[in-house]
Every structure is written in C-alpha cells, then in structure tokens.
A and B are shown apart, each in its own frame.
Chain A
Amino acid sequence: EPEVTQTPSHQVTQMGQEVILRCVPISNHLYFYWYRQILGQKVEFLVSFYNNEISEKSEIFDDQFSVERPDGSNFTLKIRSTKLEDSAMYFCASSTRDSSYEQYFGPGTRLTVT
C-alpha cells in the first residue's frame, strides 16, 4: 500500500542552524501539508501546498519557514534559523484532493534544537 515517507526520523541541530525536513508524498496526490506537534501538545497546522504554491499557512509559519517541491516527488520544509521552541515532531501529509478529503500522514520527523 502506498505511504508517505519522511526523512530523517530524528534530527538534532543547534540553535540558529538551518534544517530541511524531507517528505515523499503518495505519488498521485496533489495536496501536501506540514503539521507540527510540540511534545505533550496538540497537532498544529503549518502550511498547505497545491500546484506548486502555498494555498494556506498558519500564524506559526513565519518568514523562518519555507516549503518547496523541488522535483516531482519530494516536498520539503526548511527552517532557516532554528530556535529552541521549534523542537517538535513534524508531520507531512498528502491528499488526492483538498483537506475535505482523507489525508495520509507520514511517520514524522522529531526535531530537537539544542
């Protein structure tokens, strides 16, 4: 069964460093999402992406964040200058249609900023 994959599973970085989290969505999906979950808190929406552009972003998704689909398969989340409070689990998801349709989640990348 097709699945969303994410790499790395765990990333440790120093404050101020740039990180890129990678996702490979399901191949025929058109809508892509990033979410984050700070330890012990609820899942939060970061950004949605369709047709090579951001369709919606949350207040969390400030200028430090960017997303890209560099080729036909990868979908990346870049954090330019990480802060301690960026430590969280980051989930990628994809869907055949918009978010009124079922989303398929990746296993997540645990980002630890020290």
Chain B
Amino acid sequence: KNEVEQSPQNLTAQEGEFITINCSYSVGISALHWLQQHPGGGIVSLFMLSSGKKKHGRLIATINIQEKHSSLHITASHPRDSAVYICAGQYNTDKLIFGTGTRLQVFP
C-alpha cells in the first residue's frame, strides 16, 4: 500500500531554532512534494523533488531515495513560519498521497 508518514505530528520551537520535519514513504515514489498549509486553510507548494536537495530562502528539502525518506529543514525559524507542513508522494500516477501534516508553532 502506498503510504506517506510524517513526524513529528506537532512541533514547537523558539524563534531562531533550526527545525527538521521528517517524511517517510513506501517504495515506488517518483516525486515528493512539500507543502505548507496556513491557519486559514490555504495550501502553498514549497518544493517538488525526486532526488538530492533543494533550497529556497531559509527552507531546505532533501530526499534519500535508498532510505525512502525526505526532510524539510527551516533555518533561523520565525513566528511567521508557524503553519502545518505536509509531505505528499506521487507514485507514478497523477494521484498524490498526503501525509497527516506536522503542525509547527514558533514562539518569539
């Protein structure tokens, strides 16, 4: 069964801390998406990757194909980073399988 698991479910941090959110998936993924969902519900795509590493500002996403694992890192976290972060896997079809999300709260 194609599944995507995330950890932790909830994460709190002090402003400035380095944050890591983990995602593991079952075999056969062709692409892994990281998305951000704000309290109002809107979803923003952060990264789509199938190998290696991508960086955008303070966000870094990595994927290890052999270990079937991806991480999202936030450097120098800020209260405005508070949101739900979701990973979603694509398994050679149009269908994305979503993880349950990680709720991040960054306090000043």
29 contacts between A and B (CB under 8 A): A31-B94, A33-B94, A35-B96, A42-B86, A42-B98, A42-B101, A43-B86, A43-B98, A44-B98, A45-B94, A45-B95, A45-B96, A48-B94, A56-B93, A56-B95, A93-B43, A99-B90, A99-B94, A100-B50, A101-B48, A102-B33, A102-B45, A103-B33, A103-B45, A103-B96, A105-B44, A105-B45, A107-B40, A107-B42
Asked if B12 is at the interface of the complex by the 8 Å CB criterion, the answer is no
CB contacts (< 8 Å) of A31 on chain B: these are 94
CB contacts (< 8 Å) of A56 on chain B: these are 93-95
CB contacts (< 8 Å) of A44 on chain B: these are 98
Indicate with 1 or 0, residue by residue over B23-58, a CB within 8 angstroms of chain A CB atoms.
000000011010100001111110010100000000
Asked if B59 is at the interface of the complex by the 8 Å CB criterion, the answer is no
Query: Quick one: which of A98-114 are within 8 Å of B by CB?
Result: 98-105, 107-108, 110
Inter-subunit contact B98/A100 (CB<8 Å): no
Count the B residues whose beta carbon is within 8 Å of the partner chain — how many?
24
Q: How large is the interface on A (under 10, 10 to 19, 20 to 34, 35 or more residues)?
A: 20 to 34
Report the minimal beta-carbon distance from B38 to chain A, rounded to whole angstroms: 10
Q: Which residue of B lies closest to A39 (CB)?
A: B41
Query: Quick one: which of B83-108 are within 8 Å of A by CB?
Result: 86, 88, 90, 93-101
A-B residue pair count with CB separations less than 8 angstroms: 62
Q: Which residue of B lies closest to A48 (CB)?
A: B94
Residues of A within 8 A of B (CB): 31, 33, 35, 37, 42-45, 48, 50, 55-56, 58, 89, 91, 93, 98-105, 107-108, 110
CB contacts (< 8 Å) of B30 on chain A: these are 100
Task: Say whether chain B's binding surface is mostly helix, strand, loop, or mixed.
Answer: strand
Closest 6 CB pairs of A and B: A48-B94, A105-B43, A56-B94, A43-B98, A100-B31, A45-B95
CB contacts (< 8 Å) of A35 on chain B: these are 96
Inter-subunit contact B48/A105 (CB<8 Å): no
CB contacts (< 8 Å) of B31 on chain A: these are 99-100
Report the minimal beta-carbon distance from A111 to chain B, rounded to whole angstroms: 12
